[in-house]
Amino acid sequence: MITHLRGKRIVVVGGTSGLGLSATRACIEAGARVVAVGRDAAKAADVAAQFGDAVRTLVADASDPATAVEAIARARAEFGGFEGLYHVAGGSGRRHGDGALHDVSDEAWEKTLQHNLTSAFNSNRAATRAFLEMATGGSVVNCASVLGMHPSPRFFATHAYATAKAAIIGMTRSAASFYAPRGIRFNVLAPALVATPMSRRAQEDPAIVEFIRTKQPLDGGRIGQPEDLDGAVVWLLSDQARFVTGQVVAVDGGWGVSDGQSGAP
């Protein structure tokens, strides 16, 4: 069993479902104790029941500036410290009207950026303030998307979402540069299409599944699974990555280096 996070106290914002739930499990299995933040009370209760004393849950909205502050305070009070933040909260703005730029509504723009970018800003600011107060250094990992770097116009034209994810990369790299002398590391994970509740539309579209065969050609050309990101999450939060900051790690099945054509190449 990998125990790279033995003794670490980690906050996972968005940690009760999808990518975040998988990361919560992986961090605990690697030896950490976790405060998992999510908006759904039933899912938070399931997490608490599953992981017992290794986890604390907080039902709250990540776009509220007080949420990450409270989660970090709980880690420090109940687990005795705080060494790492994984911010994975976010999601599609399609239901609000996100799409191609000329079709994006004002509501879609505001809600998508609030849900994805503002929430990450709130978490990162709270973690940075805590690390500076403790004078310990620490690790921040943000979840962005390949769409922030490698657009896919046919099937994934959600321009407010792509903007938010690209901005997370810019914020992360700028913070990494500024806080490196203080021992605070900032890195990004950029997944491609992963099987989560958010991506159900894509998973159920035969044309997209066919497109993914050549756009994400690794391992048979499949949609990713949440656990595909877990090793990178644990590594970046751990002391194994103590000399790594300002990096964007694409966990994308080859998306960023593949054309993505219908049919076999």
Angstrom distance (rounded) from CA 265 to CA 263: 7
The boundaries of the domain holding residue 144 are 9-257
Does 79 reside within a domain? yes
Tens-place pLDDT, residues 53-105: 999 999 999 999 999 999 999 999 999 999 999 999 998 888 899 999 999 99
In a 3-state reduction of DSSP, which class is residue 40? coil
Tokens found for residue 251:
């966990």
Q: Which of 34-38, 108-112, 143-147, 193-197 has the lowest mean pLDDT?
A: 193-197
**Of 52, 74, 24, which is closest to residue 237 (Cα–Cα)?**
24
In a 3-state reduction of DSSP, which class is residue 191? strand
Confidence of residue 265 (pLDDT cuts 50, 70, 90): very low
Give the per-residue pLDDT at 259: 86
For the question of residue 86 being annotated catalytic, the response is no
Does 199 reside within a domain? yes
Angstrom distance (rounded) from CA 170 to CA 45: 35
Q: Is the dihedral of CA 103, 107, 110, 111 positive or negative?
A: negative
Angstrom distance (rounded) from CA 123 to CA 140: 9
Decide the pairing of beta strands 138-143 and 248-251: unpaired
Question: What is the chain's Cα-based Rg?
Answer: 18
Query: How far, rounded to the nearest angstrom, does the alpha carbon of residue 35 sit from its chain's CA centroid?
Result: 15
Does 2 reside within a domain? no
Angstrom distance (rounded) from CA 149 to CA 249: 12
Residue 132: pLDDT above 70?
Answer: yes
Burial of 234 (0-12, 13-18, 19+ CB in 10 A): buried
Does 263 reside within a domain? no
Does 235 reside within a domain? yes
Angstrom distance (rounded) from CA 242 to CA 222: 32
Tens-place pLDDT, residues 199-255: 788 888 899 999 999 999 999 999 999 999 999 999 999 999 999 999 999 999 999
pTM: 0.95
Q: How many domains does the chain have?
A: 1
Report which secondary-structure segment, H or E, holds 84. Answer: strand 84-87
Give the per-residue pLDDT at 264: 45
The CATH number that applies at residue 32 is 3.40.50.720
Q: Which of 51, 156, 161, 211 is catalytic?
A: 161
Does 107 reside within a domain? yes
Average pLDDT of the segment spanning 113-132: 98
Decide the pairing of beta strands 55-59 and 84-87: unpaired
Instruction: Name the average pLDDT for the chain.
Output: 95
